[in-house]
Structures are given as C-alpha cells and as structure tokens.
Structure 1
Amino acid sequence: MKLTKKKIIHGLIYMILIAGMLIVVLPMIYMISTSLKPNGALYEYPPKFFPEWKEITLENYKYILEQSKFYRNFFNSIFVSVVTVVIAAFVSAALAFCIARFRFPGRNFLFTFIMLTMIIPGTTLIVPQYELAVKLGAINSLRGLIPFYVAWVIPYSTFMIKGFVENLPKELDEAIYIDGGSVFTVFFRIILPLTKPGIASISIFNFLTAWEEFPWANTVINDDLKRTLPIAISGFFGQHQFTQWGYVFALSVFSLIPILIVFISCQKFFVAGLTTGGVKG
C-alpha cells in the first residue's frame, strides 16, 4: 500500500513537472514555427501550430538579415547589456564586501535602504529618471540606458553577493592583513575569486534585465540606429496596417541567441551559485 501511494505521488509530481515544462516550452516552439511561415499563412483558418513542410520558408530571417539597422540594434543591446553586467558586478561586489565585513555607523540603515529600493516599481520612476537624463544630457544616447540599468540591478545583486561574502571565513581576510595586505588585496585576491559563482549567477539575471528592458529604452531612445533589439522588435507592430508576425518572431529568435550563449556559458556557475547561496555557514 505504501509503495502504491508513493508511486501515485511520484506520478503526480511528474505530471505537474511535464505540464510546467509544456507551459514554458510551447510558446517558444510556436515562436520558432511561426517565424518559418510566410506572413500570409499566419492568418489562415483553421490555424496550424506547425507549418507544413512545403510552407517552411526562411524569408523572414532573410529579410531581417538584410536590414542594416538590425546589426546596429543588435550591437547596441550587446554593448548595453555587457557594460551593465560588468559595472554592476564590480560595484555590487564592493558594496556587499563593505557591508558584510566592516562595522561602521549607518551600516544597517544603508543595507535596509538598499533593500527598500527593491520594492519600488520601476515604472513609477520613469518621470524623475527622464528629468535626470535630460539634465545629464543622456537623452537619445546609450549613456541614458547604462547608468539607470546599473542602478536598477545593484540592490538585488548586493543582497545576493552579501550572502556569499558572509559565508567566507574571516580568517582568510585576517591572513592577508597579517601578511601586510590591504583591503584592496583582500577584495581582489579573496572576495572576487571566491564569490565568482554568486557574481556569475547574478550576472545572468542582470544581463537579462538589460537585454529585455523595453519601457525605459523606448522613452529615452528615438534614433533608429541607437535603439536596442526590444525596440526594434516593437517596430514591426502595426507596420503597414498590420503586425508582421513572421518578422517579429524571426527577430525574437535572433534575440534569444545571446541569452542561450550566456546561460550555457555560465551554467556551472549558476548552479553552484544557487547551491552555495542557499547554505548559511
């Protein structure tokens, strides 16, 4: 009886996992299949989830690759995302190191303030951020994206990396100080190398944040050549009085490539980061 009950529970768990996997995977499969259809076939009735073999075409991808601004938009997204990740990783690691290792007046208030900024909806800050961008002369420039993206991801990054720093024994720091090392030596020789899994896992989320962000980029950037990929994708909506879904999904497939590369490259660090971050020692 116990064995049968255990099998039933395992069966239910597998069914739930399979259902969850289908919910996540099916939209991506539909996106890819739609990108392989001609635009006219998207409005056929009854609709088909998969195109017939003779209907498969690469015209949507060919059209996207023939657009010179696509390469510029793609580079803009890569540049903004990579710079955001690098700056955020360094600043968050340094801030987490200071909060976790040093005792100074206002330390708890600083950390609490950083955490409170995480609960503020980003859309409520668009107006003051826009005014700040105008004063900084960062409108219609990639400089109007990077500083704000970094500011958005620093609170959560600091919170996560702080947990990794606290898991490191302070004896490592003391050994460096005894040998005549400075705070910078501890940070660059101990903290950064040993918190690499945590920084890598957080960097994946930071990359996704900068890569997929739409409202702020759409507010600040007006020049087609300075836009990022999400804005370029939105340009096909309503074009020629109807949405060209084939182009939309073809460009969306291209936008997935860097995300897959980043995740696959950092997968081992991502798994190690989640495991280490879940253990308090």
Structure 2
Amino acid sequence: MGKNAILKSTSNYILLAITMVCFLFPIYWIIVTSLQSNNDLFQFPPKFFDLNITLDSYMAVFKDIDFLRFYRNTVVVAAGATALSLFVSIFAGYAFSRFKFKGSNLLLTSFLSTQMFPVITLLIGLYSIYSSFGLLNTYLALILANTTTALPFSIMLMKLFFDGISKELEEAAEIDGASRWKILFKIIIPLTKPGILAISIYAFLVSWDDFIFGLTLTSDLGMRTLSSGLSMKYFGEFSYNWSGASAAAVVATLPLVLVFMFFQKYMVAGLTAGGVKG
C-alpha cells in the first residue's frame, strides 16, 4: 500500500471519528446531565467522566403526573396519525397508480410540492379552521395536523409500490369474478407490506417528534404532547431544571430508539423496494 493510499485511509478514519463525536457527544451529554443533580451541573469546570450519579431526576419524572399525561397524549396522537396516514395513503396511492384521470399528475405534484414548504406555513390556516370547528385542545386536531405532514411522502411511496405490481394480476382476478375491493384487499395490499410498514414507521416518527402543532393547537397543559409539554414544564422564565428535562427527554426518546433499532431494516427495505419498482 502506497503512502498516498495510507494517507487517504487515515484521513477518512479521522473524518469519520470527528463526525461520530459530533453526532454522539450530544447524546452522551444529555444522558450525563440526566444522571446528575442541578447543583453538580453548574460546577466549573464541568465533569465529563468522574460523576456523582443519581437517579433522582428519573424517579421524579416517573412520579410526575403531567409527564405521564404528555406521554399518553403523544401515544394517542402518534397512533391515530399513523393509522389515518396509512388508510388514506393506501387508497390515494392506489388511485394515482391505477386510475389516470384528468389532472392526476398535477394533483400528485401538488401533494409532493407541499414538502418543500416549512410546517409553520400551515399553522395560520389550520388554526383558523380548527378554531372554527371547535377542535382546538383535542386529539383530533393534533392527529389531523400530523397526518397532513406525513401524507405527501406516504402517498408517493404507496404509488411507487402499486406501480411495481403487475396489472395482469388484477386482470386475471377480474376474469375470475373478483371485485375491485376484493382485488385490492386480497391481492394488492398483501404484496405491498414493506411499503405499508415503511409508511407506518415514518408517520409514527413524524407524529412522535412533533413540536410545533402541539405547541400551537393546544393551550391546555393536560393536552400537550411530549415535545411541547416538556418545554413548558421544565423551563420557566427565571429557572431551568436541566437535569429533570434531560431525564424526561431520555425517557421520551426511548420509543423512537427502539422503533428505529427493531424496524430499521424493514423501513430501508421498504424505501429501496419502492424506489426500484417505481
């Protein structure tokens, strides 16, 4: 191996190490912060390894009724938005794939173009609509708002999967007397399980991680989700409970980590399969 190759390989490893530190240090620091008292956190110089570990913040989090409400609300909203996104994207994706009606391409492009705009641009319109119908401070408002965010990508992905399924299968089933609904539920949907799983994971992660909708569409502390609720609970005008906030953040992040660990390969398989078939 020549000197240039060794130098290039060394540079790549150094760059990889720096990148890993940049990504992993915030995770390490929030865990370290959650395991210390607030008094220890404000010592100077800060401690990185020789720590006075305590689980008081975690015990306080699990005893906090407000935190448990935030957790419950987030589970309800994430589950509802995932189910609704899946339901709509299956039928919309199938319609865009199989039925070529006037303006279908323009409509699909319009759906996808909404991904280019920040979520905050939807807030004024959504707030006005939900306020008119009395939906503020309700699960339904949060579920619909998060579904709106997840739908464009979900519809596009399902369309790609349906495009990859041969129409001859449907034609053969029609000859055998199967209805359109039976073909969809008995033949087509079982063949798109990777895409369905990928969409479910995507919609769940988007909904669980939501901050702006939970902050804007709810004013009652009991209806807050984790992201918005924790910001109101642990950070006041003149005081900050960094240890408690870090412990709550670690507990709130665990479902995302577990979902990603156990379903990562299925999501990647679903995304790549849909991309290849399309």
TM-score with structure 2 length normalisation?
A: 0.92
Residue 229 of structure 1 corresponds to 226
CA distance in 1, matches of 2:10, 2:76: 46
Query: Offset of 1:245 from its aligned partner?
Result: 0.5
Q: Who is 1:187 aligned against?
A: 184
| SS of residue paired to 2:276 | coil
Query: Hey, what's the Cα distance between the residues in 2 that align with 1:44 and 1:141?
Result: 43
Instruction: Report if aligned partners of 1:94, 1:187 keep a CA contact under 8 Å in 2.
Output: no
The runs of 4+ residues in structure 1 deviating greater than 4 Å are 3-11
Spell out, residue by residue over 1:245-275, the C-alpha distance to the aligned partner (whole angstroms, 9 max, x if none). 1011000011112112322332331131133
Cα deviations by residue, 1:187-235 (Å, 9 ceiling, x for unpaired): 2223322222122223222212111111221112122221111122102
Residues 1:249 and 1:63: Cα distance change in structure 2 (over 3 Å): same
SS at match of 1:164: helix
Letter of the 2:181 partner, please give it. Answer: F
Unaligned runs of 5+ in 2: none
Q: What is the correspondence of 1:71-110 to structure 2 with a 5 Å cutoff?
A: 71-110=68-107
Aligned residues: 278
CA contact (8 A) 2:67 2:230 kept: no
The 8 Å contact of residues 30 and 50 in structure 1, kept in 2 or not, is answered as no
Residues 70 and 266 from structure 1, CA distance in 2 versus in 1: closer, same or farther, beyond 3 angstroms? same
Aligned-residue offset at 1:41 = 1.0
Whole-angstrom distance in 1 between the partners of 2:235 and 2:123: 25
Asked if 1 retains the 8 angstrom alpha-carbon contact of 2:157 and 2:271, the reply is: no
Deviation (angstroms), 1:11: 4.2
1:64 and 2:55 aligned: no
Name 1:216's counterpart in structure 2: 213
1:49 equivalent in alignment to 2:48: yes
Give the alignment partner of residue 135 of structure 1, picking from 126, 129, 132.
132
Q: Does structure 1 residue 267 correspond to structure 2 residue 261? A: no
TM alignment of 1:31-42, pairs within 5 A:
31-42=30-41
Deviation at residue 69 of structure 1 after TM alignment: 2.0
2 CA distance for matches of 1:69 and 1:219? 18
Structure 1 alignment gaps of length 5 or more: none
The equivalent of 2:174 in structure 1 is: 177
Structure 2 counterpart of 1:155:
152
Q: Which piece of structure 1 moves more, 195-204 or 85-94?
A: 195-204
Structure-2 residue corresponding to 1:206: 203
Greater Cα offset, 84-93 or 168-177:
168-177
What value does the CA root-mean-square deviation take over the aligned residues? 2.0
CA–CA distance in structure 2, aligned partners of residues 137 and 43 of structure 1: 45
Say if 2:146 is the partner of 1:114: no
Q: Cα offset for 1:18? A: 3.3
Over 3 Å counting, the alpha-carbon distance change for 1:174 and 1:27 in structure 2 is: same
Shift of 1:14: 3.8
- If the length of structure 1 is used for normalisation, what is the TM-score? 0.91
Going from structure 1 to structure 2, the CA distance change for 1:15 and 1:180 (only over 3 Å counts) comes to farther
